Structure 1
Amino acid sequence: MASSSTFPQSSPPVDVAASPPPPPSVAMAYQGKEWHKDMAFYRAALTGEWDAARQFLDQDGDRGVHARLGYYSETPLHVAVAAGNSESFVYNLLDFIPDDSSLALTDSSGNNPLHVAAAAGNYEAAVILVTRCPNLVHLSNHDNRFPHHFAAEYGHRKILQLLISNTNDKHHTNPFAGEGGVWLLLSMIESDFFDMALDLVGKYPDLECMKPKSVGRVLSKIAVKATAFDGDDHLGFWKRFIYWCVLKMDVKSQSFDVENQTSLGKAFNVARTCPQTALNSLSSYQILRFHEKKLMREQIVELVKSLCKHMESLDYNDAAAICAETMLTAAESGSHDVVLEIVETFPLAVHFRNSLDQNFLHLAIKNRCENVFNLMYMTSMCRYQYANAIDNDGNSILHLAARLAPFHKLNLVSGAALQMQREIQWFQEASKFVSSYTRGLQNYSGETAEMIFTEEHRELKIDGETWMKDTANSCSIAAALIVTVVFAAAITVPGGNQSDSGYPILYESSAFTIFAVSDAVSLFTSSTSLLMFLSILTSRYAEHDFLYALPKRLSIGLVTLFLSILFMMIAFSSTLYLVFGRKKAWVLLPVGALTCLPISSFVLSQFPLLRDVISSTYGRGVFGKRSNRTRTFP
């Protein structure tokens, strides 16, 4: 009787032909040979086992040095350098290489061993190779990429400095000429080597990287990268005070030679390495990191100034094209330093539009770049020309402010309710700069800004309501428990009451006075907190309630809840002192220490929320901050 098999189906056979074959050079090198011996040599070069590698070299001589061992036709030197083996292994291997021409052997991509050292970050090997054969720095691969490009692309600063210092810019092949110079400059910027990029621009003003098209590419890259260094690290007051008092350094515009470091390069290294005792005890790492970012910001500004200086020699069309691309990219990414420099060089850049007919202000609002938007507070009389402009869809800046912010910007604000508050603040701030006619203008879809705001923020409003109610529910439970506890403590005072008069027995003690006052304050504050959270639960949750009313109630509720916990712990500690203070004083020490536990846990869990609520509701906010650079914006 036929039955279905219970055995699993066999997997289909593996198609060996579908696997990528080894490179032809490797296949030819291994053909007809004992390939397992070459694999043993490859393993020895990979792991740095010199004794095993030497046996192979002693047996095969020149063939061992020139053997193609890797998948991409790498020589033993390629493999050893890429694996980061010790200096002694590389030195010993070089002793078997008779002439410098063998050092320049390349893999299937045209990379010589110095390319590999630059990519792998093997500084010791790079020093050895450059010392033995300086001409390696002038050899490019099949893509016309030099070792310098690999070092810059992979972020190996020391190796890049080594290569540049050993490069002859008069050589007929060098990494600074042609498209390679642009590539190198872009890689430096991508790896945050702004001082080296500034040196490159200053040393070689006539190279390809300073041509009109290339300047636009470089400035656009800077505009995107500069955002990471725009502004501070939100340090506390005391850290900021230490920074300005101890680590403030004068960074001036000058040439930064990577071979002979100038004052900015030295300042940058000091910021990395200064081990001051006072700073070590005051979170010096964060302060030094903040200082490094400030230095990089200064370098970015100097680099942009240098590139803008070159634009003065261009004709109008080339300069306008460069400024338009850079201005719009900087506005979209939020780099207000780059925007200021472009406007300083080319004031008409504020009127440039993109393919959607949007100017820099449209892009700044759409992408919620407050640093660029705040330049409006520095504008002169003509700001109405671009503040009231509309794009191809009939949208004004108010229509774009009514759109939901990008998610990566929303996530910078904690909680859906505070995100809704920030969106309302953006909408109200944008409405200050448009005319009354533009404020009620419909776009080509027949939508006003208010209609768009309501529709776009419908889900965020619901999420904000849920978040606010959940927070109020959780905190109201804690407040209700505190009310119950402190009210009961007020009735049943420690030590009891006198039978004849009803006065507390311990009322003459100062500790009892502290208990009574603390218990009363805790009762009043917890009751206030409970009422605030109940008012949040019963709110109507209109859009504009998220701007001030709801955050105000939440901040009052959190502050009074914290105070109620604090005074409840004081009252509890006073009670313990009254009971155990005379005969068992040792009990007070561990109990007093544990008293700090609920207070500290509340501070750690709820203080960040309280700080954000108070800052966004009563603080300066993100709008209206003028640039610290005294300059008039058109």
Structure 2
Amino acid sequence: MSWNIRVSQNLQAMLWKVLELLVPHIKHVQKQKLMHLQAIQLVKCLCEKIRSSSDSNAYESLCKDVILTAARLGIHEVVEEIIESFPRAVWSMDADNHYIFQLAVMYRCANIFNLIYQMSGYKQAVMMLMDDSMNSILHLVGRLAPHDKLNLVPGAALQMQRELQWFKEVEKFVRPCYKEMPNASGEIPSMIFTREHKNLVIEGEKWMKDTANSCTITAALIATIAFAAAITVPGGDNGTSGIPIFSNNKAFTIFATSDAISLFTSTASLLMFLSILTSRYAEGDFLYVLPMRLTIGLVALFLSITTMILAFNSILYLLFCKNKEWILIPMATLACLPITSFVSLQFPLLVDLISSTFGPGIFGKQSDRPFY
């Protein structure tokens, strides 16, 4: 048994060495992971020492700042370890009377906020806490996120969407009366959210319109080309019945189908981008309506480009399949360039849009481990 363990350890060590040679950055990732695990082990040892200590103030002097810092930085393992050892630590607060979950929403640490899904009866009590300015957790999540957290999401429109997702998620956990409860300054949560995110809405509108404008031009060009190709039959007709000469050829069927799909999808894409340009750009539109329209527009645009290239290749095959077969390979290769360019430029944005709008989201239960 021990021999099998040694062999397994040696194989793992060899695998890491090979990966370090192939992917140099992985060594840095491994080092960061090791430091993270060591920090958690250090916290465990610290908690054990404090529990065995006779000093009643040991927790206040050693662990309070640690758990508050971990809540700000989003290190949920440290928060869980400390609260498992000292359950009362869940009520720890900083100098402004901000509790752990309030710090989590202020600094947009989803993995700390998600611990609330693992809580039992104290969930509502935590959501009812107020700070020195009578701000509830809903007031605090209405504030603009720190710039380093905002910049994790690409584009002002998706940043606004993420801010709305945070506000809506916290809103689920508070009592209805807290939604209209004013703080010491007389502001309700929605008022704070609107004031804090005013500039982000303007930036999001500009980002959406710039993206839609550039894609509208492309979609219009493709629709024009596809329509022109549809009324200009390759090879002509037989002159009597008007039936195309290549109508019985499979390549012609592929051309006709691809051109029709390209025309319809480019038109749909064009309409979607126009609807973005004419939108009223209310706060709530950034949550689902605008990202959904942009997603549909980009997917339709990608399909229209792909089918247009396929239709073009089908025409080349019809014209050169018998006499100049050699020209098909370089032309087909060059025809892939527009698709490759579009994928490399717009595919990351499309993935972010789909993930943020239709994906599982950043909120939810992280484990079955009970939390307070």
TM superposition score category, shorter chain reference? over 0.9
Q: C-alpha displacement at 1:386, in angstroms?
A: 1.9
Task: Confirm or deny: 8 A CA contact 2:104 2:112 kept in the other structure.
Answer: yes
Encode CA deviations 1:310-356: one digit per residue, 9 max, x unaligned.
Answer: 11122332123322211111101111111011111111101011110
Q: Note the 1:105-254 alignment, pairs <5 A.
A: none
Q: Distance in 1 between matches of 2:117 and 2:11?
A: 33
Task: Confirm or deny: 8 A CA contact 2:237 2:245 kept in the other structure.
Answer: yes
Q: Distance in 2 between matches of 1:450 and 1:272?
A: 53
Q: Note the 1:473-622 alignment, pairs <5 A.
A: 473-622=213-362
- The amino acid that maps onto 2:144 is L
Q: C-alpha displacement at 1:303, in angstroms?
A: 2.3
Q: Note the 1:47-86 alignment, pairs <5 A.
A: none
Q: Hey, what does 1:472 align to over in structure 2?
A: 212
Q: Distance in 2 between matches of 1:385 and 1:351?
A: 10
Q: C-alpha displacement at 1:618, in angstroms?
A: 0.4
**Aligned counterpart for 2:41 among listed residues 290, 302, 327:** 302
Task: Confirm or deny: 8 A CA contact 1:323 1:346 kept in the other structure.
Answer: no
- The amino acid that maps onto 1:546 is F
Task: Confirm or deny: 8 A CA contact 1:469 1:537 kept in the other structure.
Answer: yes
Q: Distance in 2 between matches of 1:593 and 1:521?
A: 22
Q: Distance in 2 between matches of 1:268 and 1:355?
A: 51
Q: C-alpha displacement at 1:570, in angstroms?
A: 0.3
Structure 1 vs Structure 2 CA RMSD: 2.3
Q: Distance in 2 between matches of 1:525 and 1:554?
A: 14
- The amino acid that maps onto 2:238 is Q
Q: TM-score, normalised on structure 1?
A: 0.55
Q: Hey, what does 1:244 align to over in structure 2?
A: none
Q: Distance in 1 between matches of 2:27 and 2:327?
A: 45
* Structure 1 residues 385 and 321: CA distance shift in structure 2, 3 A: farther
Aligned pair 1:312/2:51, yes or no?
A: yes
- The amino acid that maps onto 2:50 is M
* Structure 1 residues 538 and 626: CA distance shift in structure 2, 3 A: same
Aligned pair 1:361/2:95, yes or no?
A: no
Point out where structure 2 has 5 or more consecutive residues left out of the alignment. none
Q: Distance in 1 between matches of 2:11 and 2:149?
A: 31
Encode CA deviations 1:356-389: one digit per residue, 9 max, x unaligned.
Answer: 0110111111111111011111111112222110
Aligned pair 1:321/2:61, yes or no?
A: yes
- The amino acid that maps onto 1:543 is E
- The amino acid that maps onto 1:602 is F
* Structure 1 residues 271 and 361: CA distance shift in structure 2, 3 A: farther
Task: Confirm or deny: 8 A CA contact 2:222 2:304 kept in the other structure.
Answer: yes
Identity %: 54
* Structure 1 residues 409 and 562: CA distance shift in structure 2, 3 A: same
Task: Confirm or deny: 8 A CA contact 1:416 1:460 kept in the other structure.
Answer: yes
Give the helix-richer structure, 1 or 2. 2
Which is greater in Rg?
A: 1
Q: Note the 1:340-419 alignment, pairs <5 A.
A: 340-419=80-159
- The amino acid that maps onto 1:475 is C
Encode CA deviations 1:477-532: one digit per residue, 9 max, x unaligned.
Answer: 10000000011001112111121111111111111111011111111111110111
Residue 623 of structure 1 aligns to a residue whose secondary structure is: coil
Q: Distance in 1 between matches of 2:18 and 2:61?
A: 47
Number of aligned residue pairs: give it: 367
* Structure 1 residues 292 and 515: CA distance shift in structure 2, 3 A: farther
Task: Confirm or deny: 8 A CA contact 1:271 1:291 kept in the other structure.
Answer: no
Encode CA deviations 1:527-586: one digit per residue, 9 max, x unaligned.
Answer: 110111011111111110000000000000000000000000000000001111110011
Q: TM-score, normalised on structure 2?
A: 0.93
Task: Confirm or deny: 8 A CA contact 1:272 1:292 kept in the other structure.
Answer: no
Residue 389 of structure 1 aligns to a residue whose secondary structure is: coil
Q: Distance in 1 between matches of 2:12 and 2:242?
A: 74
Aligned pair 1:275/2:18, yes or no?
A: yes
Point out where structure 1 has 5 or more consecutive residues left out of the alignment. 1-249, 251-261
Q: C-alpha displacement at 1:621, in angstroms?
A: 1.3
Task: Confirm or deny: 8 A CA contact 1:374 1:623 kept in the other structure.
Answer: yes
- The amino acid that maps onto 1:298 is L
- The amino acid that maps onto 2:88 is L
Q: C-alpha displacement at 1:437, in angstroms?
A: 2.1
Q: Distance in 2 between matches of 1:298 and 1:406?
A: 27
Q: Distance in 2 between matches of 1:354 and 1:511?
A: 72
Aligned pair 1:633/2:371, yes or no?
A: yes
Q: Hey, what does 1:441 align to over in structure 2?
A: 181
Q: Distance in 2 between matches of 1:508 and 1:268?
A: 60
Residue 364 of structure 1 aligns to a residue whose secondary structure is: helix
- The amino acid that maps onto 1:430 is V
Q: Hey, what does 1:117 align to over in structure 2?
A: none
* Structure 1 residues 311 and 286: CA distance shift in structure 2, 3 A: same
Aligned pair 1:427/2:167, yes or no?
A: yes
Q: Distance in 2 between matches of 1:322 and 1:328?
A: 11
Q: C-alpha displacement at 1:631, in angstroms?
A: 1.8
Q: C-alpha displacement at 1:286, in angstroms?
A: 6.0
Encode CA deviations 1:271-290: one digit per residue, 9 max, x unaligned.
Answer: 885227xx98xx75566665
Q: Distance in 1 between matches of 2:127 and 2:140?
A: 12
Higher relative contact order, chain-length normalized (CA < 8 Å, sep 6+): 2
Q: Distance in 2 between matches of 1:565 and 1:504?
A: 25
Q: Note the 1:451-470 alignment, pairs <5 A.
A: 451-470=191-210
Residue 528 of structure 1 aligns to a residue whose secondary structure is: helix
